[in-house]
Structure 1
Amino acid sequence: MTPIRRALLSVSDKTGLVELGRALTGAGAELLSTGGSAKLLREAGIPVTEVSAHTGFPEILDGRVKTLVPQIHGGILGRRASPEHVAQMSEHAIAPIDLVCVNLYPFEATVASGADDETCIENIDIGGPAMIRAAAKNHEDVVILTDPAQYPDLIAALEAGGTTLAQRRALAGAAYARTAAYDAAIASWFARDEAAPARLTLTGTLREALRYGENPHQSAAFYVDGSARPGIASATQVQGKSLSYNNLNDTDAAFEAVAEFADPAVVIVKHANPCGVAVAEDAASAWDLALRCDPVSAFGGIVALNRTLDEAAAAKIAAIFTEVIIAPDATEGARTILARKKNLRLLLTGGLPDSAAPGRSFKSVSGGMLVQTRDAGRIDPEALRVVTKRAPTDAEMADLIFAFRVCKHVKSNAIVYAKGGATVGIGAGQMSRVDSARIAASKSEEAARAAGLSGRLTEGSVAASDAFFPFADGLETIVAAGATAVIQPGGSIRDDEVIAAADAAGIAMVLTGMRHFRH
């Protein structure tokens, strides 16, 4: 048990500082501090010595230099068990410092706020990380605190007579993790315009340890990166049991998809694939259209809205078993309705992600990771190229653009049939594009029967393909399903053959020049 005789407190986040200061002085420790921390302690009636008075060296350069002096770092780094260190500290009048409490300038929050470069740079802490690393290195003798959440345990240790080596070692590990994350955030900010930086730095803060991963034999956790992008990381869970790994993955997929649309939209996701998507005049109407596409798969699914969830939509969604609803907000009436479903999770994000915003996505592979920019691509309607004898009608063109946006969020190979601003058939994740087209058409027949209709919902629809047709057979399958227009990237060596098949069938085809593979 090592007692604390002298402590240096210099924090940006002053949460709990007064309580910590009182506990330390109550345990007989002398307090050293700087700037606003010293002022707060003094106003609370806690004795404190300014670092500049302790070192005999004033704060200079607008506060950029205040702790970067031998009296501070020598006091932190000096090994108490080394006679040579003790003698040198005595020779140079360096007093030991037994505890360092530092949390860093809020660089990450400053960047997230959209501040200019000068402000961001001024929020890069220099002295703080130096003291943290010094104290962590010398944890055999020194306690390092980097988070107000650590204060209660430290106060309890003071009441017990001091800290143990095991406690100091654990705090040192947390300290190095904090400075590593801090440096990673700074490095990432400097490299924000580099497509492939020579060293990639990633960091995350544990939000929650999950019960398991995709399967019960896999462990999992949810980390957040501190970005300002609205979504599952920023969401407040209003009700329901804790979210699983698969819930989080599917909810993210649903919310990113629904953010593609300006009109009121609903996306239903099952196993990371949309099984129903629609836009309409209001959320309740969009729900009806989205559900009609595949009511069987929607059972136990994830629902995302791009508008405030109201009572009408909440009542309809609550009528079937739903795992998660995510939306920017919800009315009090909607919350009351959903509160009757105790296990249903309601997440409110406060906003929508920008589907066109830059960013990176990551995939682990053996021995490393694949990194790419987020698929923020969006077709320009004016740049679409009609390649068939018949051009699409205005209604067909609107549905083609809608279907292609949905395609972006469906696992490859992806085929999406749409009509009237709603999906009427989705084929996902097949090894053959023909199979995706057939599965989507087959499921549309099932959906039609469930709705009390004859035939299939794909009659008179349009179809979107996430990538080009390598042969005409995929297009012929779509024609057989009743589609009257097709949108696809083009670029196959057999484009002429595919276009000829479209002309022979009398359907319209437009090329985007943009592919949306999603693996």
Structure 2
Amino acid sequence: MSVKANATPLPDRVKLRRALISVSDKTGLIDFAKGLGELGVELVSTGGTAKALAEAGLSVRDVSDLTGFPEIMDGRVKTLHPGVHGGLLAIRDDAAHAAAMRQHAIAAIDLLVVNLYPFEATRASGASPETIVENIDIGGPAMIRAGAKNHGYVTVVVDPADYAAVLAGLRATGGETSLDERRQLAARAFARTAAYDAAVSGWFAESLGETAPRRVAIAGELAEELRYGENPHQSAGFYRTGEGRPGVATARQVQGKALSYNNINDTDAAFELVAEFDPARTAAVAIIKHANPCGVAEAGDLAGAYHAALACDPVSAFGGIVALNRRLDAAAAGEIVKVFTEVIIAPEADDEAIAIVAKKKNLRLLLTGGLPDPRAAGRTFRSVAGGFLMQSRDAGVVEDLDLKVVTKRAPNEAELADMRFAFRVAKHVKSNTIVYAKGGATVGIGAGQMSRVDSARIAARKAEDAAQAAGADRSATIGSVVASDAFFPFADGLLSAVEAGATAVIQPGGSMRDDEVIAAADAHGIAMVLTGMRHFRH
């Protein structure tokens, strides 16, 4: 198929004489349409939009006046007609196009105002498949693409957030748009239809249970342009995908400076970790630095949990992120603000707690309205050169696992409780991971090392440093349990934990040398349980 290129230079200024308006989201519609009417722009509309405009006292033509054809099939077919698409796609300065418009009585459409059926919202609401399918817009995307393609002559507006700026520009120019403005709006229009198609295709793949669809599209809406990325020489933006999972993307920022790229990344890590702890059972606090926990604890109240978490590594906690699994209260807020903290994230906060945090004007306070479900399905993505990796979210929860005791000595109830605690934390520490825990709190964390032995030694050393800083006469790892995110390939990692004073170990198992590791545990009177599930995190 050959495509004829338009050799005619595109006009810079285009006078708007006729607008076609068809919107599902009627936010700002009446004020925008009134402004267009005041500029002498003829309004053409469809269905509910036409009714809303008429009820507001505006003069509006029905789209059937352009097409000479009524809406049919419950409104499924109303704009899919040459009378509409010819008016959008015609190259005004092309003699053949102009002749076709005259021959078929096609009226030029200079402004297209369309937003789409609320597919994303309908999907998120848990509606039935039949309702979701009915909210797949066909005519809207077709018109948007037609008008945006012909942006040399047509202005396309797909977002109510643009109404004010577009109207201000029209008023300043006597009803004209510039080519630069039309190009910018066309770019936004194509981005919108791309995101819409991504949502539709993603829903189909999910409903069909496809874990690796042949094609995958990812879409997001800019929430904020960030000052820079991980480093000042990198540009960055924060995008929302529309996923309803509570977290930093859905949170209300009560106060504090704008979040940075690193703040957002670390805050997400912190909140996902603390959500592993059921708030109905216990209060939990996680302190994160560079996406790794430097202290996690559970207790009867948040203030107690914060103190226990801070004790694990008070040096690293400086400038960290604090996540809580319960409503922030005044007692906890008063303790947290004693240490320089970048972000506090919690489901909710008491007014008194908000007032306490407000005294630290740069401290960000985020309230999410809920906790993410650690068992919920979802997908994660990571870019690589020339592509990206996609996988299901790690929804493994230690409470759902069948823990297998493999040593001569079984863990006692206190050890078993700490094992479960430590394994929850290990899931959220960069591999290779070793977590020492005692009494519902981390006492040493080794993260991201190439050797599991190094992780065990680093965690033990940090515990010794914390004990020295606190004036304790011995390391808290003595009498602790230890969790490993993956199996011990050799007994040396286990022996390092034994040297640190650990009395029980929880690990996935699955090594060719499991028997050797189990024998080493038995030789030192250590209890060991296997989970059968690893938690690599890279």
TM-score by length of 1: 0.98
Partner of 1:138: 150
Asked whether 1:335 is paired with 2:335, we answer: no
Partner of 1:116: 128
- 1:432-443 correspondence to structure 2 within 5 Å: 432-443=451-462
Partner of 1:245: 261
- Deviation digits for residues 333-384 of structure 1 (CA, Å, limit 9, x no counterpart): 0000000001100000001111111111111111111111111112346611
- Whole-Å separation in 1 of the counterparts to 2:115 and 2:340: 45
Partner of 1:213: 229
Partner of 1:412: 431
| Aligned residue among 296, 300, 303 for 1:281 | 300
- 1:350-369 correspondence to structure 2 within 5 Å: 350-369=369-388
**3-state DSSP class of the match of 1:94?**
coil
8 Å CA contact retained: 1:3, 1:158: no
Partner of 1:28: 40
- Whole-Å separation in 2 of the counterparts to 1:480 and 1:77: 76
Q: CA deviation at 1:422?
A: 0.7
Asked whether 1:291 is paired with 2:310, we answer: yes
Partner of 2:190: 176
Asked whether 1:322 is paired with 2:341, we answer: yes
| Structure 2 residues without counterparts, runs of 5 or longer | 1-12
- Deviation digits for residues 141-169 of structure 1 (CA, Å, limit 9, x no counterpart): 11111111221222123221301112111
Partner of 2:28: 16
- Whole-Å separation in 1 of the counterparts to 2:487 and 2:170: 68
- Whole-Å separation in 2 of the counterparts to 1:424 and 1:188: 42
- Whole-Å separation in 2 of the counterparts to 1:236 and 1:167: 32
- Whole-Å separation in 1 of the counterparts to 2:329 and 2:398: 31
8 Å CA contact retained: 2:401, 2:531: no
Q: CA deviation at 1:132?
A: 0.6
| Aligned partner letter, 2:328 | L
- Whole-Å separation in 1 of the counterparts to 2:350 and 2:141: 45
- Deviation digits for residues 419-456 of structure 1 (CA, Å, limit 9, x no counterpart): 11111111111111111111111111121222221110
8 Å CA contact retained: 2:66, 2:107: no
Q: CA deviation at 1:213?
A: 1.0
8 Å CA contact retained: 2:483, 2:507: yes
- Deviation digits for residues 76-133 of structure 1 (CA, Å, limit 9, x no counterpart): 1122111211111111111111111000011111111121111111111111011111
| Aligned partner letter, 1:505 | H
Partner of 2:10: none
Asked whether 1:104 is paired with 2:104, we answer: no
- Whole-Å separation in 1 of the counterparts to 2:85 and 2:522: 79
- Whole-Å separation in 2 of the counterparts to 1:117 and 1:173: 31
8 Å CA contact retained: 1:381, 1:401: no
| Structure 1 residues without counterparts, runs of 5 or longer | none
- Whole-Å separation in 1 of the counterparts to 2:456 and 2:150: 65
Partner of 1:200: 216
**3-state DSSP class of the match of 2:297?**
strand
- Whole-Å separation in 1 of the counterparts to 2:149 and 2:439: 65
8 Å CA contact retained: 1:4, 1:98: yes
**3-state DSSP class of the match of 2:49?**
helix
Q: CA deviation at 1:387?
A: 0.6
Asked whether 1:256 is paired with 2:272, we answer: yes
**3-state DSSP class of the match of 2:14?**
coil
Partner of 1:472: 491
**CA 1:381 to 1:89, structure 2 compared with 1: closer, same or farther past 3 Å?**
closer
Partner of 1:188: 202
- Whole-Å separation in 2 of the counterparts to 1:260 and 1:380: 10
- Whole-Å separation in 2 of the counterparts to 1:380 and 1:495: 23
- Whole-Å separation in 1 of the counterparts to 2:32 and 2:485: 58
- Deviation digits for residues 169-215 of structure 1 (CA, Å, limit 9, x no counterpart): 11111111111111111111111121100001111111111111111
- Whole-Å separation in 1 of the counterparts to 2:362 and 2:27: 35
Question: How many residue pairs end up in the alignment?
Answer: 519
8 Å CA contact retained: 1:269, 1:276: yes
8 Å CA contact retained: 1:75, 1:97: yes
- Whole-Å separation in 2 of the counterparts to 1:156 and 1:212: 31
| Aligned residue among 72, 76, 92 for 1:80 | 92
| Aligned partner letter, 2:52 | L
Partner of 1:53: 65
| Aligned partner letter, 1:408 | K
- Deviation digits for residues 39-66 of structure 1 (CA, Å, limit 9, x no counterpart): 1111111100111233221111111111
- Whole-Å separation in 2 of the counterparts to 1:330 and 1:153: 37
8 Å CA contact retained: 1:23, 1:158: no
Partner of 2:105: 93
**3-state DSSP class of the match of 1:20?**
helix
| Aligned residue among 398, 415, 423 for 2:442 | 423
- Whole-Å separation in 1 of the counterparts to 2:103 and 2:503: 90
**3-state DSSP class of the match of 1:302?**
strand
- Whole-Å separation in 2 of the counterparts to 1:259 and 1:107: 29
- Whole-Å separation in 1 of the counterparts to 2:102 and 2:400: 77
8 Å CA contact retained: 1:290, 1:423: yes
**3-state DSSP class of the match of 2:295?**
strand
8 Å CA contact retained: 2:88, 2:154: yes
- Whole-Å separation in 1 of the counterparts to 2:251 and 2:432: 31
| Aligned partner letter, 2:264 | L
